[in-house]
Structure 1
Amino acid sequence: MVAEASNGQEAELQAAETQPDVILMDVDMPDCNGFEATERVLACSPNSRVVIFTANHQEQHLFQAIQKGAMGYITKDIEPEALVHALRCAARNDLCIPGAFASQVLTHLRSLWKSPATYANLLGSTAAVSYRTPRRPTSTHEPSEPSLDPQTAPSTATPRPLTDRERQILDLMRKGRKNREIAGELCIAESTVHKHVQNIFEKLHARNRTEAIYLTSVES
């Protein structure tokens, strides 16, 4: 362990200073909750992987955690071995959620694809006006990626199929590659990669890389 924090503001400062690989984030903290703290931490330490740690079993909080950029969501009744496994998953850039949530998540995602309003409800009525700190790009040459507001979601929520190139880029995103790295591996321009990433988000109705990876992994 490289650092410890007792509230959201301290977590932000510690993350900026230590740039940790994995952060175990409690939801119930003074100052700001773990969801807001996750956004703040990722703004100053974009390569960190956040795992939300909570006593709450409501699936809407799981969706909120993912929307804020978390790579994992675990409850406080988890076994020690499972906790270690979740942290290792996050370190590998793999999503980790409790098995008990799997069926609810699939049901809600399928509802989301049928009705964009469903997704807004999952995030809660205050999600659209919550505190949002833009993430810093990992490279000065890499454009920031769009984050769609639930109120401006596409009129049709049915995902469209990805092209072979988009699936290739999504596979590299799943491995944690950034736009510049993807461009190098595929021998294409970084601006082309950025355009493909935007198309992936639009087709899947995803807000960020984490959601795009999650939405495709539950259907595979």
Structure 2
Amino acid sequence: MVNVLIVDDHSLMRRAVREVIEKEPGMCVVAEACNGHEAEVQAAETQPDVVLMDVDMPDCTGFEATERVLACSPHSRVVIFTSFHQEQLLFQAIQKGAMGYITKDIEPDALIHAIHCAARNDLCIPGALATQILTYLRSSWKMHAGYGGMLSSSISYRTPRRTAHITVSGESGLSDTTSTMPRPLTDREKQILDLMRKGRKNREIALELSIAESTVHKHVQNIFEKLHARNRTEAIYLTSVEG
């Protein structure tokens, strides 16, 4: 029996998901939660096999709630269940320990499949987003291991039962890697990068930090230059890997 906890701030969505799950033999919804705090409480009490976790909730994000749930129920597998088709959120989900990332326009059969995957401790990612991940992985590997270098790039994500590593090393020769090593960010740049992870645009960041939008743009360009990133997604991905 696969025991499932549904976390979503919309009762209608929880009801619809429950109906799909409870029609499946061998699956049971053991609890529901409408926010991160309630998810933590329910997870600690029921120790579910799989947690379907919404991202956009009133008290905390689904990523923060994922960390809380895994802290009190380490054998649970979290699947982010969201309406956002954004690869940067997928990277963040994996970094926080989620075993899957699916969107709310998914078909019922695909939802059941994702739950089964998580229960088996298999990573479940939509095809389009998986393709983007491979693109960035290959790009990162080429950046660090190019020119026959021996620099090893180790990529890891935390899961409830294991840590997976992907390592790529050059086989011969030595190279000077100083030019590709990222430079440290200032406190303001780190603050802006954190807001970028949350999907904020330059205008929204400027309003939140009470600074000019042109200043935000300059900081973002400095972040790209220091991290050797080509865009926001790559900057977020590279710092998630390093963190």
- Contact kept, 8 Å, 1:114 with 1:158, in 2: the verdict is no
Q: What are structure 2's unaligned runs of at least 5 residues?
A: 1-28, 145-149, 168-243
Runs of 4+ off more than 2 Å: 111-116, 156-159, 207-216
**Aligned with 1:20 (options 44, 48, 59):** 48
Note the C-alpha offset of 1:4. 0.4
8 Å contact kept, 1:95–1:214: no
Query: For each residue in 1:55-75, what CA deviation from the matched residue of structure 2 results, as whole angstroms up to 9, or x when unmatched?
Result: 111101101000000000001
Whether the 8 Å CA contact 1:5–1:14 is kept in 2: the answer is yes
Kept in 2, the 8 Å contact 1:7–1:29? The answer is yes
The structure with higher relative contact order (CA 8 Å, sep 6+) is 1
Structure 2 counterparts to residues 144-155 of structure 1, below 5 A:
none
Do 1:113 and 1:157's aligned partners in 2 also have CA atoms closer than 8 Å? no
Once the two structures are superposed, what CA deviation does each residue of 1:172-211 show, in whole Å capped at 9, x if it has no partner?
xxxxxxxxxxxxxxxxxxxxxxxxxxxxxxxx33243589
Q: Residue 105 of structure 2 is aligned with which of 77, 80, 87?
A: 77
**Within 2, Cα distance between the matches of 1:208 and 1:46?**
11
Cα offset for 1:100? 1.2
Please tell me whether residue 213 in structure 1 is matched to residue 145 in structure 2: no
Counterpart-to-counterpart distance in 2, 1:5 and 1:68: 19
Matches within 5 A, 1:1-220: 1-115=29-143, 158-159=152-153, 204-209=154-159, 213=164, 215=166
Distance of aligned partners of 1:23 and 1:36 in 2 relative to their CA distance in 1, 3 Å threshold = same
Q: Deviations over 1:133-178 (max 9, x none)?
A: xxxxxxxxxxxxxxxxxxxxxxx8644xxxxxxxxxxxxxxxxxxx
The DSSP-based 3-state class of the residue aligned with 2:52 is strand
Residues 64-119 of structure 1, C-alpha deviation per residue, up to 9 Å, x if partnerless? 00000000000111101000000000000000000111221101112333458xxx
SS of 1:213's equivalent in the other structure is strand
SS of the residue corresponding to residue 164 of structure 2 reads: helix
Distance (Å, rounded) in 1 between the aligned partners of 2:126 and 2:95? 17
Residue-pair matches, total: 133
Q: Bigger radius of gyration, 1 or 2?
A: 2
- Structure 1 residues without counterparts, runs of 5 or longer: 117-155, 160-203
TM-score (norm 1): 0.56
SS at match of 1:3: strand
